[in-house]
Structure 1
Amino acid sequence: MPSHWTPTSWQQRLEELLAPTGDLKQAPLRRDVRSLGTLLGEVLREQAGPALFDAVENLRRTAIARREADGADQAEANSQLQQALFSVHAHCEDATTAYQLGRAFSFYFELINLAETNHRKRRRLSHQLDAAAPPQRGSLRGTIRALKSAGFTAETTEELLKRVCITPVFTAHPTEVARRSVMFKRRRISDLLEKLDEIPVPESTLEALEQDLTAEITALWQTDDVRNARPLVRDEIRMALDYYESSLFDTLPVLYSEVAQALAAEFPDTPAPAIADLPLLVNFGSWIGGDRDGNPFVTPAATTEAMAMAKNLLLTHYRKRLQMVFEQLGSSTAQVPVSTELLELVDRYLAKAGPNAPPNTMAERFPTESARLLIACIMMRLGAPPQASVMSYVQSVGQSAPTLPPYNCAKDLIRDLTVLRNSLIENNGRRLSALLIDPLLLEARTYGLHLHALDIRQHARVHATAIAELSAWKPAVEGETLALPPALSPQTQEVIDTFRAIAELKRTNPPEALPRYVISGATSAEDVLHVLWLARLGGVRVEADPNSSDPGLQPVPLFESIPDLQNAPAICRELWTSEIYKPLLESWNYKQEVMLGYSDSNKDGGMLTSTWEIYKAHRALHDVARECGVTLRLFHGRGGTVGRGGGPTHRAIYAQPVDSFSGELRITEQGEVLNWKYSDVVLAERNLELMIAASLDAIARPDAVIQSKKSVIPTRNAVILSEAEGSASATTTNAQSHPHLTGELLPAWEAILDTLSEASYAFYRQHIVESNDTFVYFEQATPVAELEHARIGSRPAKRTDASSAKKRSMEDLRAIPWVFGWMQSRQLVPAYFGVGHALKSYADSTPDGLAQLQTMAKSFPLFLDIIRNVEMALAKADFGIARMYASLVEDESLRDRVFTVLKTEFDLTIQMILAITGQKALLEKNKVLEHSIRLRNPYVDPLSLIQVELIRRKRAGDDNPELNRAITATINGIAAGLRNTG
């Protein structure tokens, strides 16, 4: 029987791949989705029986019918919904059947997600095959082309690139529902889908690949997708490290090659740089094993283990790479000379190789292969036993294995690799260097000897409590200021133990692996000084050491609430002008990092106010930094969802304030986002390229330069960096014109955003934060209470430190479960509430108000980003389904009050978004996303109905492990279907 992937003709398959637009372009995705659905159906019938398959099909068809009738025939839509409810009620009487139903729909999303990811890779390949196609949107080549059009030269472009460095910081916030074993199976299915895309493939091979694919889907079905226990911190560390092995180690050379090729293509008269000569554009960070804010399981031992696991993974990787180089690089001095520098380095190593390994022992084995000898020595310094052929020879002549001291710092490894590289280049081996050594050098510069920088994080309240406890104790010996009390509370003891562990880890590991300490909930300069005092008490050197590679331990204040964002510039001014802090700044070369919190500020003030206050804090912090002579780097604590500051990263980077970006940024990557962005080389390379391109664009603003050159009267209040002309220019604007997507913020637009934010904030606070009704509604009309049984992450859902509130309240609730509950219940309140009210109020109260908002949405990147992110969230929400969740609220009067407020604001926000964008329906101008959501809804809807039914039973008293497992299956499925947990 032919495979589901058997083409009508291979010519047609090729035409599908090459199609730039239209139906033919989408044909491969439709085929993958249809074929994977068919295979899943076969697996369901085989593994769970025809009754379950029929139940799934019945619910799916009913959900489709309800969606098709919705809006056109509301009575029919309601009838279909009732049929679905009756069906769910019947099937869910047995918790095991409910669990199987939930898994069936969840697995469909697993396969759809993989199909869509494969299509993204397919379209990227299609674009690369078309030499005449303009650069892909957001690509580095597109940005460099814009720079060239603006007058930038190859030299000024490369100078700008030297300012760019992006740092994804992997975090273990509990938003990844998949188990590690499930992630491995995803990768195997993804690999098979790629093989099915090859052209041409014999029919027998297609059939074999389809059989393998069916086997992998079967294996996925037979694997527990729901955890039986919470993951340990070690499990979270391991999951993040998997991304290096699965993609990132192989991505780095591809990424830098893309940069070199883009420069060569756009500036053909300038020689293409070698990847090892490009500036460092990317490095990596992690919070996993260092973030103890509210997580009692992140202990000093966990931090020590996180560093050891990262280092061991990296050194193993280096040794594997070097082994390959050893085998491939057989350059002989009988054929080509080597540099004197290399010979001298090898002689020094041979002299140190150990008392039982005479220098000539290794040299005799490779008398003409000095490059290989150096590689063997580098491997030994990285902890490997001597290369196999060296070992066998040494042992054959009765000698002990040679040894060399391990590397203590990355610069020594980089030096040795550079000696080898230079020798090859000097002696007609440039191609060998580019193939074998340049990628290694690139990795050594990026990863050092530690892989990524591990941030330590703790809440300011915990530090304040420790300080108060320590200050209350009077030492018995006068002048004994640094002595500790004989007994400390467990929380304070953990704080002291953490700093002692940092001091020890800096002594026994590359000290640059622990450069920062993030302070959650920072509200004052004193919060930073507390960390300095406690660090010194624990034996940590906080200032950088000029005589070593130790960068010290810089406190990084994290401003999270709306008031704290507003106060952040004044707090930093106080800190940076403090006589206590100035010497530290000097030791750090007057560089300071500050973190901005998206999740908590959104929960505190709503999406619109959070976005605007972060923007203003960003701009003001850079102003204060310039005033104080500080180079500021901002760390953006963004989540995966719009309600936690998520959304397309390229847009967000470009939407930063003009002249308030140094080119360096750190950004959190967490939960399910890691899988979407870094699960394979193609995705990881594209994601990193987008961030580099956006950063380059945000520094140079080439569109602004081009626009100002075209204008007879240049634009007002724009500070546009024009490296091509050698200076930054401040210009003025014509009353009849406005800047178009240059990033310039006109005073009138700033006033509008202030007005919108003020209205949104007041409305959001009144109806959400300060409304006890809404909090009660949230707890009962969402599955937030069931999050505990999902066992998503090691961190508890609520802070339990000694200084936190004891009662249940909005203030004590973490931002993640807040967004999780609204997302799962299809209400997505954090992503839109207050936006519609503010937009409508402004449009109605201001002459030409709507026209002004439309202009801003077309011309100001930040406002465009807000509008598009809200639109995406509205498209994922469903208040027909949300009404089912609302029925779980016990107090009918309270339920109706809150639901009416939420639904009214939801409808108003849709109305205003459509009016501003000029669309008749949401996502009318984003057909790819619209199609994806439409494809998923018939499968998400049954999961939501199943979840509501199961929660109702649980709250009625039928609380048992099987029921909780079934609820968790629906949580997994809805998260996969919406591509968001929280």
Structure 2
Amino acid sequence: MPLLWKPESWSQRLAELEARSGDLKEAPLRRDVRSLGTLLGDVLREQAGDALYEKVEELRQSAIRRREEQAAGKSKEAEDRLQRTVLSISTLPVEQAYQLSRAFAFYFELINLAETNHRKRRRLSLQLSGDSSRQRGSLRGTLREMKRVGISATEAMDWLRHVFIVPVFTAHPTEIARRSVLFKRRRIGEFLEDLDRIPVPDEEILRLQEQLMAEITALWQTDEVRSRRPTVNDEIKMGLDYYDVSIFATLPKLYEEVSAALASEYGLDIDISELPLLLGFGSWIGGDRDGNPFVTPDVTREAIRSARARLLAHYQQQVQLIIDLLTTSAQQLPISNELKQRLDGYLTELRAGTQQLFGARFEFELYRRFMVCVHARLLRAAGDAASDADSLESALSALPAYGSAQELLDDLSALRRSLAENEGLRLAQTLIDPLILLVRTFGLHLHTLDIRQHAKLHKKTLQETSDWCAGNASIVPQGLSKEAADVVETFRTIAEVKAGCSPEAIRQYVISGASSVEDVLGVLWLARLGGVEAAAKGNDPGLMPVPLFESIEDLRNAPEVCRSLWNLPEYRALLASWNNMQEIMLGYSDSNKDGGMLTSTWEIFRAHRALHEVARECGVKLRLFHGRGGTVGRGGGPTHRSIYAQPVGAFEGEIRITEQGEVLNWKYSDVVLAERNLELMIAASLDALARPNTLDPHGHQSGILLPEWEAALEELSDTAFHFYREQIIDDPEVLSYFETATPVAELEHAKIGSRPARRSGKRAFADLRAIPWVFGWTQSRQLVPAWFGVGYAIEQYSQKPGGAKLLRDMMAEFPLFIDVIRNVEMAMAKADLGIASLYASLVPDVGMRTRVFSKIEAEFNRTLAAVLAVTGQKELLETNRMLAHSIRLRNPYVDPMSLIQVDLLRRKRAGEDTDEINRAIAGTINGISAGLRNTG
């Protein structure tokens, strides 16, 4: 086997790593992609034969030539080539079509891994060169800019104390990979990272290549399409895996980077144990009931139990490591009186003397003896039985379980103080501080589990239980419908969880479709019926109702609804127990489906700003929860840019953000990637709080909204909204077109997620979830939710005197408008109307097909012209060459899969509805998802 990763010289490899720009910088990525492609080609020949490999190459080359013809303006030649390819695919047997789609999907798997490895490589390069302070979104860069404009160290630390970010993991049906596939991906990623070492002997390169070949072969032999829909418990396990894979190891490294950044930019010397807590974690997996009948009270109990078990297992590993390494002897250095008293207290509790209990074990190593007691209490907390083979462990099992995270923190803090007082500060910083940080972050519960249900179901339950009151809390009302009984039982489950040792595991109750004060008060009434105390008390933070404002109308009404709520005397008493904190959730997905991209973005911005104004008026500290998806059509896009684009003066540093489905693997599959993603959020929040640009007389993109810009955005939004509603929502043909011109109906066969695509069995637009709405449009390469209406609004406004110049000024200076246009640009670059027209051909009603696709095509071309005019570019992504290159790299592989999918859908619609066809279609769905990276 040729050594694909062997360079001409190792100095050249080092030069690639040190390169700041140009071809040399991208050379390692090209090598990874080319070499992985070569290995996959060998696997395809070996596993599936030369005929399949040759067909893959034929389709790939055809796709490349079609793209080249399009770029050269040869539209007729490109269209002819597309039709010839479609014809050649239509004659393929279903099994061969399936194998072809698998082959292309595997190219994407490997390209994605190569790009991920390159992101890690470039981060390392910046760290080596010292240029990380200039990287967009880096904490050092933000602190350096703050210092440059005169923000003092004291002020910087004060801003940092305001930052608290909570990524909330969700299991919406957009993550297409199975757990077994995710594991194999990580293995390949590790091998690629090993190949980046300098130097690597030839024998090692050969060994790594052979291991890569083995993993690619294993992937090929693995079912990428699930044979059954995943259960919620499956999704719980997938979400928890990311803690073991990256997050536990990432947090200490991240806080060390925060400490180092403060030292380098401000000269501050702060240990990670003294830094403010900047991050927490949340989850919806196992708690989100809205439209998912499979999330039962038992599933919620399992989600809480599994999270706690995963966390305590990690704590036990870390404590055991400390026991192994903290060998300081009392014959060399003493321990503090405080720690001695704690250790003696444990012995007293066990009614045993030191000699009787430990004998000669750790005779002078009192730190180890203390940590053995800590380990025993953790075992009890986890419910693990002591080993009969270990008499010490068995004797210690009589110690009580930790009843709260504070008890564990008290023990660890006493240990740290003893080390610091007795020449062991370095040991404390290395061994104890990382564990203290984890306990501060995760407590004994790992993450908060949000409960979510729709306001309509609460109203139904309230109607059925109207004759009951809190006095009947011990009795379940009889004669309830299944839906109402489930709501009541959900609150009883919350009460049960809160009665345990981690009442903070459930803090928020999210109300989907909230539109009124009554929607919030109804949840409080139901909580009382279920025996849940909403007010905070002792270690229990209570249960806060979190209204989720989703539709355009509800976003507009949200400030007034909250004003009324916050002025109710009984609710103010609850707020006081929550330290006058209120969380409000803003829905990106449904507002986009309801009003279009531009209006959704603007109305969320306006609601965000107005809610903060009302909160200040009412003396409430507001924390917003942003329900963003992975795609532009559901609020996705670069995290730093979106956080910084928040309204000036309407952000207090605390923010919760959903991390949905497919993006989890992209952001948290590796320690380096997780650290970068979390650093981005911290740096962006700090930037949005301190706003150093506003203190610089020559600063740009300060975020300040000029009156003329606000008026322009208001007019753009109004124009886009009415156009979108008229052309999409109010046109009954669009939903019919959507259901036949996209594979949305086939998502069920892809076995992607546990949640159904609709809230009920109705085939109405309002009943269709935003996720499949976006997924279907994206799979069919139309991406309508991400851009429709934007071009029309810009065109109309640009016709006004001075309108075009004003929009260009906004594009240069206003972060929100920049974010909108760049996200639209990214989505349009992934669309392909030539291929979309093939999906449109699936619509049997020719008149409907022509009418709907014609207006989609017209608006796409209008939006393309508008984006180029506003940005001053000649082509899409002209200023984002890395993304443009990535999309160009993927197109020759995703295009054939789209053509195969269209052909398979055509066969199915013609009556060939077999398991083989459905499996093949599911394979194309998986492959296109991998190719476009974010499809739901």
TM-score range, shorter chain: over 0.9
Q: Determine the structure 1 residue equivalent to 2:329.
A: 332
Q: Does 1:576 align with 2:566?
A: yes
Q: 1:764 aligns with which of 724, 736, 741?
A: 724
Higher mean C-alpha displacement, 78-87 vs 413-422? 78-87
**Counterpart residue identity of residue 368, structure 1:** F
Q: Determine the structure 2 residue equivalent to 1:144.
A: 143
**Counterpart residue identity of residue 595, structure 2:** G
Query: Residue 472 of structure 2 contacts residue 529 of structure 2 at CA under 8 Å; is this kept in 1?
Result: no
Cα distance in 1 for partners of 2:768, 2:197 equals 49
- Write the mapping of 1:301-312 to structure 2, written as runs, cut at 5 A: 301-312=298-309
- Write the mapping of 1:499-514 to structure 2, written as runs, cut at 5 A: 499-514=491-506
Q: Which runs of at least 4 in structure 1 moved beyond 3 Å after TM superposition?
A: 355-360, 390-396, 398-402, 478-485
Query: Residue 387 of structure 2 contacts residue 394 of structure 2 at CA under 8 Å; is this kept in 1?
Result: no
Shift of 1:57: 0.8
Cα distance in 2 for partners of 1:479, 1:96 equals 63
Task: Mark the CA change 1:480 to 1:910 in structure 2 (over 3 Å): closer, same or farther.
Answer: closer
Shift of 1:589: 1.0
Shift of 1:383: 1.1
Q: Does 1:450 align with 2:445?
A: yes
Task: Mark the CA change 1:830 to 1:429 in structure 2 (over 3 Å): closer, same or farther.
Answer: same
Cα distance in 1 for partners of 2:652, 2:394 equals 56
Q: Does 1:436 align with 2:431?
A: yes
Higher mean C-alpha displacement, 781-790 vs 362-371? 362-371
Query: Residue 875 of structure 1 contacts residue 922 of structure 1 at CA under 8 Å; is this kept in 2?
Result: yes
Query: Residue 44 of structure 2 contacts residue 53 of structure 2 at CA under 8 Å; is this kept in 1?
Result: yes
Q: 2:465 aligns with which of 449, 461, 470?
A: 470
Q: Does 1:951 align with 2:911?
A: no
Shift of 1:158: 1.2
Query: Residue 351 of structure 1 contacts residue 359 of structure 1 at CA under 8 Å; is this kept in 2?
Result: no
**Counterpart residue identity of residue 9, structure 1:** S
Shift of 1:267: 1.6
Q: 1:276 aligns with which of 260, 273, 280?
A: 273
Q: Determine the structure 1 residue equivalent to 2:313.
A: 316
- Write the mapping of 1:135-174 to structure 2, written as runs, cut at 5 A: 135-174=134-173
Query: Which deviations, in whole Å up to 9, do the C-alpha atoms of 1:362-388 show, x marking residues without a partner?
Result: 2653332111111111111111699x9
Q: Determine the structure 1 residue equivalent to 2:418.
A: 423
Query: Residue 363 of structure 1 contacts residue 373 of structure 1 at CA under 8 Å; is this kept in 2?
Result: no
Q: 2:837 aligns with which of 883, 892, 911?
A: 883
SS in 1 for 2:173: coil
Cα distance in 2 for partners of 1:814, 1:395 equals 57
Query: Which deviations, in whole Å up to 9, do the C-alpha atoms of 1:368-419 show, x marking residues without a partner?
Result: 2111111111111111699x9x9899739x9845521011111111111000
Shift of 1:636: 0.2
Task: Mark the CA change 1:659 to 1:57 in structure 2 (over 3 Å): closer, same or farther.
Answer: same
Q: Determine the structure 1 residue equivalent to 2:885.
A: 931
Q: Does 1:405 align with 2:395?
A: no
Query: Which deviations, in whole Å up to 9, do the C-alpha atoms of 1:816-843 show, x marking residues without a partner?
Result: 0000000000000000000000000000
Shift of 1:481: 9.4
Query: Which deviations, in whole Å up to 9, do the C-alpha atoms of 1:343-365 show, x marking residues without a partner?
Result: 00100011112x57877422653
Q: Determine the structure 2 residue equivalent to 1:216.
A: 215
Q: Does 1:64 align with 2:64?
A: yes
Query: Which deviations, in whole Å up to 9, do the C-alpha atoms of 1:250-307 show, x marking residues without a partner?
Result: 0001100110010111123x3x211111000011000000001100110000000000
Query: Which deviations, in whole Å up to 9, do the C-alpha atoms of 1:71-118 show, x marking residues without a partner?
Result: 421222112112211221122xx2211111111000000000000000
Structure 2: any 5+ residue segments left out of the alignment? none
Query: Residue 350 of structure 1 contacts residue 359 of structure 1 at CA under 8 Å; is this kept in 2?
Result: no
Task: Mark the CA change 1:481 to 1:3 in structure 2 (over 3 Å): closer, same or farther.
Answer: closer
Query: Residue 377 of structure 2 contacts residue 399 of structure 2 at CA under 8 Å; is this kept in 1?
Result: yes
SS in 2 for 1:556: strand
Shift of 1:152: 1.4
Task: Mark the CA change 1:628 to 1:42 in structure 2 (over 3 Å): closer, same or farther.
Answer: same
Q: Determine the structure 2 residue equivalent to 1:124.
A: 123
Q: Does 1:287 align with 2:242?
A: no
Shift of 1:131: 2.8
Q: Does 1:26 align with 2:26?
A: yes
Task: Mark the CA change 1:482 to 1:501 in structure 2 (over 3 Å): closer, same or farther.
Answer: closer
Cα distance in 2 for partners of 1:392, 1:964 equals 53
Report how many residues are paired.
933
**Counterpart residue identity of residue 952, structure 1:** R
- Write the mapping of 1:483-562 to structure 2, written as runs, cut at 5 A: 484-545=476-537, 548-562=538-552
SS in 2 for 1:245: helix
**Counterpart residue identity of residue 46, structure 1:** E
Q: Determine the structure 1 residue equivalent to 2:455.
A: 460
Q: Does 1:812 align with 2:767?
A: yes
Q: Does 1:796 align with 2:756?
A: yes
- Write the mapping of 1:42-81 to structure 2, written as runs, cut at 5 A: 42-71=42-71, 72-81=73-82
Query: Which deviations, in whole Å up to 9, do the C-alpha atoms of 1:909-931 show, x marking residues without a partner?
Result: 01010011111000011000000
SS in 2 for 1:146: helix
TM-score, normalized by length of structure 2?
0.98
Q: Determine the structure 2 residue equivalent to 1:781.
A: 741
Q: Determine the structure 1 residue equivalent to 2:113.
A: 114
Cα distance in 2 for partners of 1:146, 1:799 equals 48
Shift of 1:483: 5.8
Q: 1:740 aligns with which of 684, 700, 711?
A: 700
**Counterpart residue identity of residue 30, structure 2:** R
Query: Which deviations, in whole Å up to 9, do the C-alpha atoms of 1:180-213 show, x marking residues without a partner?
Result: 0000000000000000111001101101100000
Query: Which deviations, in whole Å up to 9, do the C-alpha atoms of 1:555-581 show, x marking residues without a partner?
Result: 000000000000000000111001221
Cα distance in 1 for partners of 2:107, 2:643 equals 33
Q: 2:603 aligns with which of 613, 636, 639?
A: 613
Cα distance in 2 for partners of 1:323, 1:385 equals 16
Q: Determine the structure 2 residue equivalent to 1:594.
A: 584
**Counterpart residue identity of residue 491, structure 2:** F
Cα distance in 2 for partners of 1:391, 1:634 equals 47
Q: Determine the structure 2 residue equivalent to 1:920.
A: 874
Query: Residue 381 of structure 2 contacts residue 402 of structure 2 at CA under 8 Å; is this kept in 1?
Result: no
Query: Which deviations, in whole Å up to 9, do the C-alpha atoms of 1:560-611 show, x marking residues without a partner?
Result: 0000000000000111001221111111111000000000000000000000
Cα distance in 2 for partners of 1:366, 1:874 equals 66
Cα distance in 2 for partners of 1:556, 1:391 equals 45
**Counterpart residue identity of residue 535, structure 2:** E
Task: Mark the CA change 1:384 to 1:489 in structure 2 (over 3 Å): closer, same or farther.
Answer: closer
Task: Mark the CA change 1:474 to 1:861 in structure 2 (over 3 Å): closer, same or farther.
Answer: closer
Task: Mark the CA change 1:406 to 1:907 in structure 2 (over 3 Å): closer, same or farther.
Answer: same
Shift of 1:465: 0.4
Task: Mark the CA change 1:133 to 1:359 in structure 2 (over 3 Å): closer, same or farther.
Answer: closer
Q: 1:828 aligns with which of 771, 778, 783?
A: 783
Task: Mark the CA change 1:285 to 1:134 in structure 2 (over 3 Å): closer, same or farther.
Answer: closer
Shift of 1:744: 0.3
Query: Which deviations, in whole Å up to 9, do the C-alpha atoms of 1:864-893 show, x marking residues without a partner?
Result: 000100000010000000000000011101
Q: Determine the structure 2 residue equivalent to 1:631.
A: 621
Q: Does 1:345 align with 2:342?
A: yes
TM-score, normalized by length of structure 1?
0.93
Q: 2:375 aligns with which of 358, 376, 379?
A: 379
**Counterpart residue identity of residue 456, structure 1:** I
Q: Determine the structure 2 residue equivalent to 1:297.
A: 294
Query: Residue 791 of structure 2 contacts residue 860 of structure 2 at CA under 8 Å; is this kept in 1?
Result: yes
Query: Residue 79 of structure 2 contacts residue 834 of structure 2 at CA under 8 Å; is this kept in 1?
Result: no
Query: Residue 394 of structure 1 contacts residue 401 of structure 1 at CA under 8 Å; is this kept in 2?
Result: no
**Counterpart residue identity of residue 465, structure 1:** K
SS in 2 for 1:558: strand
Task: Mark the CA change 1:874 to 1:385 in structure 2 (over 3 Å): closer, same or farther.
Answer: closer
What is the Cα-based RMSD across aligned positions, in Å? 1.8
Query: Residue 782 of structure 1 contacts residue 821 of structure 1 at CA under 8 Å; is this kept in 2?
Result: yes
Query: Residue 638 of structure 1 contacts residue 645 of structure 1 at CA under 8 Å; is this kept in 2?
Result: yes
Structure 1: any 5+ residue segments left out of the alignment? 711-738, 801-805
Q: Determine the structure 2 residue equivalent to 1:976.
A: 930
Task: Mark the CA change 1:392 to 1:304 in structure 2 (over 3 Å): closer, same or farther.
Answer: closer
